């Protein structure tokens, strides 16, 4: 996997190239950016000091880091260089190319170089312009305060919320903000100069993609001075690239030396498998012979081929089986034999009666898509099976009703490893699926199961609901609150925000219990909606800040800042009732929960690995 430091044109180009090559990556920026469309990328935001970056490199399998951050992000460049050197991770700097036309213009009279903002301010004091146009970005408003607090200074900033809020936080007059996207070409900058009566430009040596040459050409045309802050010193990068073609060549070499693992293979749902078995059984029933395989069009529009096993004629019925293929998903039904037995029966022609076979569950509680008493065959699989039955009847010119009995060998045992018993689905698994395909490790499928569990809890009259990350925290919580109904306990995994929102949307609950282990609590306290270590790394500096606000000494705060593993936190500050740090941590978690569930009374339970608890009722 590749870690990309972006937030720039070069960062975007890097991401697009990695996507095109099929290389997974994590795109990291200091501030939150609007996520762009990506197939293989993830996003994170927030500053990283060296210890936090080293912890991230230890936590995730990064084989390559690409520093495509802004040329003036000197501290970040050094941090990335030092962390990669310490951890032995290959580092590539994708830098902004210099602008040859700008290099010539930099030698012209009227162009003033400055090593930093201090030198730029000294030059401004000497030039004393009436209207300064600063093209140095929103982060330069603070360093230039000494100048703009007493003189008219216009800042061109990006018209995005984060930039505007950052500018406003500096207290600069709104009328001095030009909220526009930069345009290429000297004419665009000449128009800015003329529109606002500018008599001095301030810019950075930003290179070709920063339009440095265009800015200097515009200043030259209007015969006004320009101050250029030169690039800061850089680390001794071993690999420094300046173009997409150079980067692609290096990445192609990376792929050859470190081949990507094969993409995870999709599988087929129990619904698609049952429909395929039904198609084969109907052919056998109406034509008198069993097919060796069938071709099925899935709801997703894709076609899939299924091999038929164990064909059986029995009296007036035909039975065929298909082995469930879950692909690379860790599915408890993978490899089970799903059978469909069909018979012609009396009744409305083309009507289908669904029967519960061995290993298929039976719905016993309200709140699901299937009413109590029916076999647990969900609506989309029912439609797929019905379509296969009707198509076969029409092809053979047969007018009849049909019974379909779906069975799953080993389904009763497999169901014990699912949420079915808690949802009131007894004796077997559910026949499910909406697209016909199983996407390995699908987040959408997990979130859908959370919403379904919450809906069933509410539909069955539970007035209290408990949200826990998993079975261990559920057991700890129910040991403390023995009155909690097992049907009212829902596992949110990492998706705490989605679960709380679903509770609010369901309505009707009088209290919600939220149990969170310490490691996940450090992320929840920061307002993260997803508590996965895969997407949200440990940010120890947050813990140090929390301790500082709770009144701890600097030694404790610094030790927390250097934390590598959350479990070491209790060695610094023992987890116990009344400990101010954990009180503050729990309060911050409650505040985050209230963002997603503002109304219902909340009992928040902070847990350590031993089951000790800190409880807050709000």
Domains of the chain: residue spans and CATH: 2-96+242-257 (3.40.50.720), 100-229 (3.40.50.1980), 267-438 (3.30.2110.10), 443-617 (no CATH)
Does 612 or 260 have the greater pLDDT score?
A: 612
Average model confidence (pLDDT) for the chain?
88
**pTM for this structure?**
0.48
**Among 313, 114, 320, which Cα is nearest to 204's?**
114
Query: Pairing mode, if any, of strands 267-268 and 153-157?
Result: unpaired
No. of H helices and E strands in the chain?
A: 21, 30
Provide the 10 A C-beta neighbour count for residue 401: 17
d(CA 521, CA 489): 19
Q: Which residues pair with 154 in a beta bridge?
A: 133
Mean pLDDT of 164-193: 89
609 has pLDDT over 70: yes
Tokens of 112: 């003033």
pLDDT at 287: 92
d(CA 523, CA 542): 9
Would you give the distance in Å from CA 472 to the centre of its chain?
Answer: 25
pLDDT at 234: 87
Asked if 425 contacts 366 with a C-beta cutoff of 8 angstroms, the reply is: no
Classify the phi-psi angles of 304: left when phi > 0, otherwise alpha if psi is within -120 to 50, otherwise beta.
Answer: beta
Condensed to tens digits (0 to 9), the pLDDT of residues 206-232 reads 766 678 888 999 999 999 999 999 888
d(CA 290, CA 256): 47
d(CA 89, CA 78): 14
pLDDT at 27: 94
């Amino acid at each position: 996997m590749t870690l990309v430091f972006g937030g720039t044109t070069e960062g975007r180009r890097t991401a697009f190239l990695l996507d095109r090559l099929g290389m997974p990556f994590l795109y990291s920026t200091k501030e939150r950016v609007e996520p762009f469309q990506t197939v293989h990328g993830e996003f994170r935001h927030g500053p990283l000091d060296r210890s936090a970056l080293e912890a991230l490199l230890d936590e995730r399998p990064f084989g390559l880091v690409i520093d495509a951050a802004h040329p003036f992000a000197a501290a970040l460049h050094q941090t990335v260089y030092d962390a990669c050197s310490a951890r032995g991770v290959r580092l590539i700097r994708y830098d902004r190319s210099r602008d040859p036309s700008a290099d010539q213009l930099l030698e012209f009279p009227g162009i003033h170089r400055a090593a930093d903002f201090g030198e730029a301010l000294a030059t401004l004091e000497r030039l004393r312009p009436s209207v300064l146009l600063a093209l140095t970005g929103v982060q330069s408003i603070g360093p230039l305060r000494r100048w703009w607090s007493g003189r008219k200074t216009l800042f061109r900033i990006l018209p995005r919320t984060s930039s505007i809020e950052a500018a406003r936080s500096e207290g600069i007059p709104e009328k001095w903000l030009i909220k526009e996207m930069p345009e290429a070409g000297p004419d665009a900058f000449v128009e800015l100069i003329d529109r606002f009566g500018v008599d001095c430009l301030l810019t950075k040596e930003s290179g070709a993609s920063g339009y440095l040459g265009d800015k200097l050409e515009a200043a030259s045309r209007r015969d006004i001075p320009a101050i250029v802050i030169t690039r800061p010193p850089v680390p001794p990068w071993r690999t420094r690239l300046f173009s997409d073609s150079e980067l692609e060549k290096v990445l192609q070499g990376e792929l050859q030396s470190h081949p990507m693992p094969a993409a995870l293979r999709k599988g087929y749902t129990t619904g698609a498998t049952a429909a395929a078995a039904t198609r084969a059984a109907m052919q056998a029933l109406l034509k008198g012979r069993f097919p060796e395989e069938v071709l099925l069009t899935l709801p997703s529009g894709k076609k899939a081929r299924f091999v038929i096993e164990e064909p059986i004629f029995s009296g007036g019925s035909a039975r065929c089986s298909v082995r469930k293929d879950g692909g690379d998903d860790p599915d408890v039904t993978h490899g089970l034999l799903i059978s469909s037995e069909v018979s012609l029966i009396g009744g409305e022609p083309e009507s289908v009666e669904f029967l519960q076979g061995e290993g298929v569950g039976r719905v016993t509680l309200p709140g699901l898509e299937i009413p109590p008493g029916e076999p647990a065959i969900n609506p989309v699989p029912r439609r797929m099976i019905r379509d296969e039955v009707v198509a076969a009847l029409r092809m053979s010119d047969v007018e009849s009703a049909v019974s379909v009995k779906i069975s799953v060998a080993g389904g009763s045992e497999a169901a014990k490893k699912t949420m079915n018993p808690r949802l009131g689905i007894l004796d077997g698994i559910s026949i499910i699926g909406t697209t016909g395909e199983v996407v390995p490790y699908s987040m959408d499928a997990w979130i859908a199961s959370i919403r379904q569990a919450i809906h069933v809890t509410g539909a069955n009259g539970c007035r209290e609901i408990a949200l826990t990350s998993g079975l261990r925290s559920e057991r700890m919580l129910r040991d403390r609150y023995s009155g909690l109904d097992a049907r009212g306990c829902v596992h949110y995994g990492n998706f705490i925000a989605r679960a709380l929102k679903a509770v609010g949307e369901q309505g009707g609950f009088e209290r919600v219990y939220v149990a969170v282990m310490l490691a996940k609590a450090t992320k929840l306290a920061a307002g993260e909606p997803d508590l996965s270590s895969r997407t949200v790394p440990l940010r120890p500096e947050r813990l140090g800040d929390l301790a500082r606000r709770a009144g701890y000494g600097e030694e404790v705060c610094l030790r927390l800042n250097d934390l590598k593993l959350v479990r070491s936190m209790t060695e610094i500050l023992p987890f116990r009732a009344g400990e101010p740090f954990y009180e503050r941590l729990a309060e911050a978690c409650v505040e985050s929960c209230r963002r997603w569930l503002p109304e219902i009374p909340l009992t928040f339970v902070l847990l350590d690995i031993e089951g000790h608890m800190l409880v807050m009722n709000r």
